[in-house]
Structure 1
């Protein structure tokens, strides 16, 4: 039986959208966008390693592992280098990428990404599709890059990664949901995908809220 993930995600999408909208409010946005780039770099640099790990853990001959081994290589290829794009955006935004790379990832980033390593290593790699469905399924809107350029006064090139994901992620999301619809998952596998997706949504909300509250605290100082 496949996992019908969309109705579950529909329950948390309004909260996720509210958190994203608060993140992009004008007050303090220029500095907040810089922190967003740094945090998202910490998230995105894990994307390819997570998929590569999932690929290596698909060692069985069960249909789910076989299908994942067919799907993951193309998506790995699509995601290669995206963390470097964020470094370029940082540079255009006036940040020092080398200094940002020395920052320890926030607790919020670790909470978002870290459980995937556990589920892949100690459960079934199919759990990663829940994580991917949330991240790809909540791509930036097509007009967001232009809006942020206007609100921050930063060059358009500082928003290249946002602009790319606004264009590409909807198609990637469709691919993930198509794969999920194909898979005949066990009850445990369905539960793992759902848990991964719901955890990812909650952790992403936590990350956005952290960035927003952090910026508000700085404005009050």
Structure 2
């Protein structure tokens, strides 16, 4: 019997955690005339705090790959993927600041605000695993973020329900299109890497921990505007 691929195995594991994340996402975007608009602004601020860590995480993981190569057969192709993906993601945190400005919020306030402990947990766990386990763990984090992109219709629906201009939804709109292709590239990489059993566990633990963190983040955001202050 053919063993399932690494990407398929990970997809099954993530499926177990998907219902809670889907419920949190639905609660975040529920239609409340007085609440959805400020909640969306809070979402932009929280996502900026998270996304601005993405490129530095990938750059640090790529440097760790360079340190591990050539004795590590995973490090070389992983490092090349991370370097390319970091360039693909560069500047996306600026999109969120532009979205905040278009929504009538102050981007400087988002930059000066202490990020939520939930956001710090999400990014901080990745730094630990990159430094003290193996940079391949970061693929689990990326897999969850790419695999839970906004739906293609979400930007237009939010614009209609909040009354905010289309310019306030660039990040949501762009990621609805970009992340599907990125996810396919990541699945191909997972299936091509000569992962050890321990490395597969690291990727899965990272992915499940990230799913839990995103679920908690969306739950807090859904509770009330300003709930992360």
**Structure 2: distance between partners of 1:208 and 1:150:** 21
Q: Note the alpha carbon deviations across 1:48-98, whole angstroms, 9 max, x for none.
A: 000000000012221100111221121111101000010000000000001
* 1:40 positional shift: 0.1
Matched with 1:186 is 196
Matched with 1:9 is 14
What 5-or-longer segments of structure 2 have no aligned partner? Answer: none
What 5-or-longer segments of structure 1 have no aligned partner? Answer: none
Matched with 1:32 is 39
Are 1:151 and 2:161 an aligned pair?
A: yes
Residues 60-209 of structure 1 mapped to structure 2, 5 A cutoff: 60=68, 61=70, 62-209=72-219
C-alpha root-mean-square deviation of aligned residues, in Å? 1.4
**Structure 1: distance between partners of 2:110 and 2:92:** 16
Matched with 1:50 is 57
Q: Note the alpha carbon deviations across 1:144-201, whole angstroms, 9 max, x for none.
A: 0000001100001100110000000011011111101111211221111010000000
* 1:100 positional shift: 1.6
* 1:111 positional shift: 1.6
Report the TM-score when normalising by structure 1.
0.95
**Structure 2: distance between partners of 1:82 and 1:136:** 13
